[in-house]
């Protein structure tokens, strides 16, 4: 049994992840900004923790993270506002990584996206550019940290029921159900072989655990 902190605990991936983890007897604390979402989190079996990671400094985040076995970053600003996107998807994410190191919690799983890379080539005039920059820079900070990190890069998210199988060859982006993304996060947490790796994935025909073992 592991004690897991999920940051961004009311997201559509996070809520499914919380249910998976609690059903396998992990203890889950789910960080939410809006107290009105606490009941939704509690229904999954997770413990809602109301905190605004956008406002917390490294010390405050370290206090939040301390005592856990792993951190999952599944938060996001939701796009639209470039300043807030940078504040959440980069600045708060980076502070959480530094806080995890300070708290001595080495295991960290980042839910990123398929195209996150410093050479993403998103045009400067694209509305997506600020998000692409924020995610790429945050992922690079995580790779440079001393954390036991896994970066997961799902392709376009859909709301299907999930299949339990993916394609993790990372050759090209298509789409994947949020249910399968949640299952991938859970599987990565349980597989130390994913540490130090960036795994980009789509829907596919390979069972998740097998796909993670085979992914380069």
What's the CATH number for 3-214? 3.40.50.720
Q: Which residue in 201, 188, 214, 182 sits closest to 46, CA to CA? A: 182
Strand partners, 149: 108
With beta carbons less than 8 A apart as the criterion, state whether 125 and 94 touch: no
Question: Can you give the pTM of this predicted structure?
Answer: 0.96
Q: Which tokens hold the place of 83?
A: 């300043």
Looking at residue 216, what is its pLDDT? 55
pLDDT digits (tens, 9 = 90+) for 67-91: 999 999 999 987 778 899 999 999 9
Half-sphere exposure for 203 (CA within 13 Å, toward CB): 14
Looking at residue 124, what is its pLDDT? 78
Domain ranges for the chain: 3-214
Q: Which tokens hold the place of 31?
A: 């960080």
Token pair 């049994």 in the structure block, residue? 1
End-to-end CA distance of the chain: 28
Looking at residue 211, what is its pLDDT? 97
- State the chain's mean pLDDT as an integer: 95
| Range 170-189 burial, b when 16+ CB lie within 10 A, else e | beebeebbbbbbbbbbbbbb
Instruction: Spell out the per-residue pLDDT of the chain, length 216, in tens.
Output: 899 999 999 999 999 999 999 999 999 999 999 999 999 999 999 999 999 999 999 999 999 999 999 999 999 987 778 899 999 999 999 999 999 999 999 999 999 999 888 888 788 788 778 888 999 999 999 999 999 999 999 999 999 999 999 999 988 889 999 999 999 999 999 999 999 999 999 999 999 999 999 975
With beta carbons less than 8 A apart as the criterion, state whether 14 and 8 touch: yes
């Amino acid at each position: 049994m592991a004690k897991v902190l999920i940051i961004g605990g009311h997201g559509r991936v996070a809520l499914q992840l919380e249910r998976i983890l609690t059903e396998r007897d992990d203890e889950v604390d789910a960080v939410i900004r809006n107290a009105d979402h606490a009941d939704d989190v509690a229904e999954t079996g997770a413990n809602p923790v109301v905190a605004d990671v956008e406002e917390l400094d490294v010390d405050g985040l370290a206090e939040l993270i301390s005592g856990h076995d792993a951190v999952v970053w599944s938060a996001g600003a939701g796009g639209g506002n470039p300043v807030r996107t940078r504040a959440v998807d980069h600045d708060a994410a980076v502070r959480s990584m530094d806080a995890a190191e300070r708290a001595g919690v080495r295991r960290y799983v980042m839910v990123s996206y398929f195209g996150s890379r410093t050479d993403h080539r998103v045009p400067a005039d694209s509305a997506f550019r600020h998000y692409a920059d924020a995610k790429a820079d945050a992922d690079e900070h995580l790779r440079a940290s001393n954390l036991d990190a896994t970066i997961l890069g799902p392709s376009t998210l859909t709301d299907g029921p999930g299949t339990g199988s993916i394609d993790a060859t990372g050759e090209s982006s298509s789409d994947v159900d949020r249910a399968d993304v949640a299952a991938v996060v859970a599987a990565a947490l349980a597989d130390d072989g994913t540490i130090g790796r960036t795994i980009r994935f789509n829907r596919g025909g390979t069972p998740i655990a097998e796909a993670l073992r085979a992914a380069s």
